[in-house]
Structure 1
């Protein structure tokens, strides 16, 4: 097996004492270790030194080690070299050395919700860090630990632990219980929907605290209340005040006039460097549309470690700030134990996509009315997984005009129809919707009316209102009717997504479709980039209104160009005829966009059959190509020589799109069908491989009888 060369795992921080002493910063690491040991012993009374012959009978002495980490600022520059003493807690015995170990942390969706709230209301966001948080919890058990390598003490001594220390299985739980009791005493109540978010109401104002281990995020309108809490925590534990939140959990917060932006630029730069992709070429898409992979039968063990490390790094950015990677990463995560060269190539494509989108991020708008309600979008494919025949579902929820919650995952069982797959996906989305509703209510955000959840299948929407399609849905699990109950009780209202005018049609949806379509509804989180001739530099705009304004300038500057998104093409049709075609296997332009534009033109202008017709070409990829009879008279790149143009391209009578257009204009003979041609090995000189009849939308060509390689054997129905 050959693995791609740049996929390596270099790291700048040593992992052992020996490596630290061989490092070019060995003096800093050694001094950091000494300072850590003395601080734990003298300042925090975490342990005392005792002789081993004083140990109780049967007592187990835990191992210990130093963990080395370079602290960096928001721009990635080193600020200090830290050594943290930890216990090797994996040797502890349940029920003897510890009882309970679970410790909650604030969910990213809750943190994003608080940031969206702060953006909409103009609240302060203050960040603080508890110094050595785990050391403030007192242990119930008697525990002993070896002296770590690098600390010079007699061989016959060990350390008796009095307080919790990093590495103990119960350390997180002990600290969580400690900070919880303190915040409650300070007047803050823990939310039931989120154990690590606290709220206090003073008059008409609300204050919030989010706890993520030792990182604290304060959100509120008045700094005096936040300072009061910080002063108390500083006296109890020692607090590092970081001021206005700028960089928390590897996420950068950027205050701007229109709201707050979230970015992981520095984290992603580190990921690219770690996997040797810092200078890689950029990719427009994170994944090849329609990509289907199978588990590798003979996986390379060394590759699996590298592959899992890459997937883990990407999963963190998906959870934190990048919903656009939710589907690609979740799909590739299915192969963490059986990855091959094709899987690693797909990971590298994601990294190249990241390289090209470092400047994009999530934006929450500074508008109070944007908190009145939130909206969700849900979509599912049907049976896209070639290994299990299961469907993939995804959803996105927005608040303050930015995404706060998203998910893409494979369904737990096989769906027997596209309606069933969509129904299961909406049920999953409705559970997240219920959680968000509970969270927002506890945060004091008033929700006006039912939550709007948008899907793309009329059958599912009808099923939520009435028990139709009983024969096809009677086997659904009881838990999958949670969504229907929420709709009937008025908590959720389901509407049809605007991108999808429903028609009966043959082409099936590609597996990547839910990702690409749902991502469209994350706007205006990424900035729009607009180019026009009046400006020497690209103009970056952050709203639909600014985009429309610049689009008008472009129209006024060059009126000879048709606005590609305007359905009013009456001026064009008054002077000629128009034939358009849509590539149903296009990997860059969603086919539904072209079909939707055609319907928008008809809705705007009425019956346009005498001037405008559309042909949908199954199997045709972007700008020609694919496995279909895609040669219709349009010029693909191989049809035009260097320096040539459309007029100089050679078309035969078989490739009749241009001839059909001429006949329509000159003889008023509208084309009902075209003949598509596929050449042997894509070369006209080798002759025709087969023909197909391409029909005017919404009809398709179906085989009747005769030679299947001839267009005459197909009819439009």
Structure 2
């Protein structure tokens, strides 16, 4: 077993902890593989979860299923699960400021391990237990990596919120609301992260208790760090700001632009981009292939959805040339990067 980006001992301990969770969701004992049935494989995923200041909060290990081996109609049916878009998150935060709501955040621990599975899915056991036979298990509950895992989790969370009396929006099924007299409660869902808006703290406390009764939850209290965005909410002065300085730092460092000069606008008004700027010779094409143009544009798209919506038009312009970028389009893409740099302040 290889442990990437983690110390071997820590990686093994984390994986053992995750495997204990997995074995708790296997139906009965390990079993043989029924005739005519195929088992899905699995792999280990290791990841660091960081705090708002960039320091490591914890290291995670996941035993995940290889979903590309699942067959539609046999191993799964529906897979879609709604989640909050960044525009919806900004809308909820703006509503909180306007209505003077409290904004809290909760997270469900190992959310995808909670829902039961309707389908009969067999999985091959991981390394370390293959010395015993049988080497397969039937999954009684969902695990990370299954195609239906996100939908199964959403359906389970949906039932819990409905039992509390909340209703979901028809056009935004990832947003739930509850209203009684002057009391209002709004919940936005992004997979296993919950953003809770409320103007009545006892009601908000009751909802948290209902969720904690059903799932293992982490209550972060007032929102400060959400989906890679640092949120500063000054309720007294009705001000809220979103910051992504850590992501901007990472992008500039990755692209080697930490010492760049700041641009005042995202695009040069005197520069008109066109396909004529594409490389003309094979040497020019080879040289441009060394430039992480697509990667940089992807990072800019992420920033435009969160902290920097004002660069959306500029990002749309430079993204048109991802297939064959030239020196002119590269210069404008880099201008977007350095325009975002002063957002630290």
Q: Same fold (TM over 0.5)?
A: yes
Give 1:277's aligned residue: 257
Q: Following the alignment from structure 1 to structure 2, what is the Cα–Cα distance between the partners of residues 237 and 277?
A: 44
Task: Tell me if 1:84 matches 2:62.
Answer: yes
Aligned partner of 1:70 in structure 2 is 48
What is residue 274 of structure 2 aligned with on the other side?
Answer: 293
Query: Displacement, 1:49?
Result: 5.8
Taking a change above 3 Å as real, the CA distance of residues 349 and 47 of structure 1, as seen in their structure-2 partners, is farther
CA deviations over 1:348-377 (Å, ceiling 9, x no partner): 222222222332xxxxxxxxxxxxxxxxxx
Residues in 2 aligned to 1:345 and 1:288: alpha-carbon distance in whole angstroms: 10
- Aligned counterpart in structure 2 of residue 160 of structure 1, from 104, 120, 138: 138
Contact 1:120 1:259 in 2 (8 A): no
Distance verdict in 2 for CA 1:329–1:48, change over 3 Å: farther
Which residue number corresponds to residue 191 of structure 2? 213
Quote the residue 1:326 is aligned against: 312
| Aligned residue-pair number | 336
SS at match of 2:60: strand
Map 1:248-647 onto structure 2 (within 5 A).
Answer: 248-256=226-234, 257-289=237-269, 290-294=271-275, 295-296=278-279, 299-300=285-286, 303=289, 306-359=292-345
Change (3 A) 1:336 1:145: farther
> Of the candidates 26, 45, 54, which is equivalent to residue 8 of structure 2?
26
In the TM superposition, residue 302 of structure 1 has moved relative to its aligned partner by 8.9
User: Which one has more relative contact order, counting CA pairs under 8 Å at least 6 apart?
Assistant: 2
Equivalents in 2 of 1:306, 1:48: separation in Å? 50
Q: Deviations over 1:54-76 (max 9, x none)?
A: 21122122121122111111111
Which consecutive unaligned segments of at least 5 residues does structure 1 have? 1-16, 360-717
Map residues 34-113 of structure 1 onto 2, 5 A cutoff: 34-42=16-24, 45-46=25-26, 50-51=30-31, 54-113=32-91
- Could you tell me how far apart the structure 1 residues matched to 2:232 and 2:107 are? 19
Give the conservation status (yes or no) of the 8 Å contact 1:41–1:48.
no
For 1:242, the equivalent position in structure 2 comes to 220
Give the match's secondary structure for 2:104.
Answer: strand
Task: Tell me how far 1:270 sits from its aligned partner.
Answer: 2.2
Gaps of 5+ in 2: none
> Higher Cα Rg: structure 1 or 2?
1
The alignment partner of 1:357 has SS state of helix
Q: CA deviation at 1:243?
A: 0.5
Per-residue CA distance 1:492-548 (angstroms, 9 max, x = gap): xxxxxxxxxxxxxxxxxxxxxxxxxxxxxxxxxxxxxxxxxxxxxxxxxxxxxxxxx
Aligned equivalents of 2:328 and 2:122: distance in 1? 49
* Separation (CA, whole Å) in 2 of partners of 1:132 and 1:226: 23
> Secondary structure, in 3 states, of the residue corresponding to 1:129?
strand
In structure 2, distance between residues paired with 1:343 and 1:144: 50
Retained in 2: the 8 A contact 1:284–1:356?
no
Q: 1:187 maps to which residue?
A: 165
